[in-house]
Amino acid sequence: MDGKSIAQWPASERPRERLLKQGPEALSDAELLAIFLRTGVPGTSAVALARQLLDEFGDLGHLLNASKQQFCAIRGLGEAKYVQLHATLELARRYLAVQWQRGEPLTSPQAVRDYLRHRLQGLEEERFMLLLLDSQHRVLQTIELSRGTIDAAQVYPREVVKTALKANAAAVILAHNHPSGVAEPSQADRHITGRIQQALALVDVSVLDHLVVGRGQSCSFAERGWL
């Protein structure tokens, strides 16, 4: 059926109808992507095009993290689809941030890692994030402190302290990404983390973790025993 328009498929097999009846979790990556694409190209349905895209990039994660040039080079795609895709991803990130700030304590390290991975993975420049928590480890705020490389001295411990005190935070989680895709912390990462930890200790604010996010992987300072 891949050569046919999805409108010609039996209703029980169309992705939109299946989503409405069974919920989004019942659909494959290709089917969800086909709903986003809306249309295929001549001779290829949206589902078939979605499968081709997943084969081309290897998996959904690599597709979503593709550069504009890589994405738009595929037949059937273009700048408009690229903009739509990244608007959708940003909505998902903001939804997760809102869910975090509704007062639920952070009881799962994996939940923290998943959120930060979605927030930072695949970005083309390095960004340094600060999660401010209260005494029960509920998220007060998520703040982007800097863009660029950490060793370019764009993250200042005094600014972290000032921000934490302003929010009346009891603890923080630090996070940044490596655009190279390699999550292994550098010596500069470890140096700035130590300076921030020492500065925050003077005002009785704990550093719970520093996560370095790469492509499909992350590294936790707490798990390494560095905090």
Q: Is residue 219 located within the same domain as residue 111?
A: yes
The Cα 39–Cα 16 span in angstroms is 12
User: How remote is the C-alpha of 85 from its chain's centroid?
Assistant: 14
Query: Structural domain of residue 29, as residue ranges?
Result: 6-92
- Cβ atoms < 10 Å from Cβ of 107: 8
Q: How many CA atoms lie within 13 A of 83 on its CB side?
A: 3
The Cα 155–Cα 151 span in angstroms is 9
* 3-state DSSP assignment of residue 48: helix
Q: Is residue 215 located within the same domain as residue 137?
A: yes
Q: Is residue 68 located within the same domain as residue 158?
A: no
How confident is the model at residue 86, as a pLDDT?
84
State the burial class of residue 53 (Cβ atoms within 10 Å of its Cβ: 0-12, 13-18, 19+). buried
Q: Is residue 136 located within the same domain as residue 30?
A: no
Q: Is residue 80 located within the same domain as residue 146?
A: no
Flag whether the pTM goes above 0.75. Answer: no
Domain count for the chain: 2
H-only helix segments in the chain: 15-22, 29-37, 46-57, 60-64, 68-72, 79-100, 109-120, 157-166, 187-201, 221-224
How confident is the model at residue 152, as a pLDDT?
45
Identify the domain boundary among 50, 65, 92.
92
**Which residue, among 125, 128, 97, 107, has the nearest Cα to 208 in the 3D structure?**
107
How confident is the model at residue 7, as a pLDDT?
60
How confident is the model at residue 172, as a pLDDT?
95
Lookup result for tokens 């998220």: 139
How confident is the model at residue 71, as a pLDDT?
87
Q: Is residue 17 located within the same domain as residue 79?
A: yes
Q: Is residue 126 located within the same domain as residue 72?
A: no
CB 178 within 8 A of CB 214: yes
CATH number for 168: 3.40.140.10
DSSP class of residue 184 equals: P
Q: Please indicate, yes or no, if residue 82 is contained in any of the structural domains.
A: yes
Q: Tens-of-pLDDT digits for all 227 residues of the chain?
A: 544 556 657 666 788 888 898 888 888 888 888 888 887 777 788 888 888 888 888 888 778 878 888 888 888 788 888 888 888 888 877 776 666 665 556 656 677 777 787 778 767 788 899 999 999 888 888 888 888 755 444 778 999 999 999 999 999 999 998 888 888 999 989 999 999 999 999 999 999 999 998 877 889 999 899 98
The Cα 91–Cα 27 span in angstroms is 20
